[in-house]
Amino acid sequence: MQASRRRESSRVRSGSFARSARVRNTCRVTETTLFQRLGGRDGVESIVEAFYERVEQDGHLRPIYPDDLEPGKRKLKLFLEEWLGGEQRYTALYGHPRLRRRHFPFVIDDLAAGRWLRHMRDAMTTSGVSSGDQKAIFEHLAPLAHHMVNASEDVPREPLGDVRME
């Protein structure tokens, strides 16, 4: 399990997931990022807004989130932009994502991880993300979401705020 966490962490750090997305045509191979195929920043913003609309209505997930959802929306937009192959604006502001550590303040169980994924998939569908792109995204996003599960663990629960991590 530890090796799995290291591999997932390395995928997030290196951005290899985003760089590995290719579109092939018969004449040549051209690189296009998922970020571009999803519509760039506007596409990511649409997905995140649709996702948070679902979170706000979810009786299990909503209590996990802070009262003010705006900082989380902003960070998720920046993270997804970078993770999907856009500019590294998240890293420029906050350093290494260290997602598991950043999620320690929130008690996340398996049900929450599953609901988070369902709402993200629904948000992507609503935002017009193709089934092929969703498949590519969720191959990596599903293990990452389940990696955040920490409900039965004794981890530091103090909020990190906007601290920069290296």
Per DSSP, the residues of 24-70 read E-SS-EEE--HHHHTTHHHHHHHHHHHHHHHHHH-TTTGGGS-S--H
Instruction: Specify the pTM.
Output: 0.82
Confidence of residue 29 (pLDDT cuts 50, 70, 90): low
Residue 80: helix, strand or coil by DSSP?
helix
The CATH number of the domain holding residue 57 is 1.10.490.10
Structural domain includes residue 97? yes
- Residue pLDDT, tens place only, 127-148: 999 999 999 999 999 999 999 9
Range of the domain at 45: 2-147
Mean predicted confidence (pLDDT) in 45-73: 97
State the total domains in the chain.
1
Structural domain includes residue 161? no
Structural domain includes residue 160? no
Q: Which residue has the tokens 């999907």?
A: 84
Structural domain includes residue 164? no
Structural domain includes residue 75? yes
List helix spans (H) across the chain: 2-14, 16-19, 34-37, 40-57, 70-83, 89-94, 99-102, 110-126, 131-147
- Residue pLDDT, tens place only, 93-126: 999 999 999 999 999 999 999 999 999 999 999 9
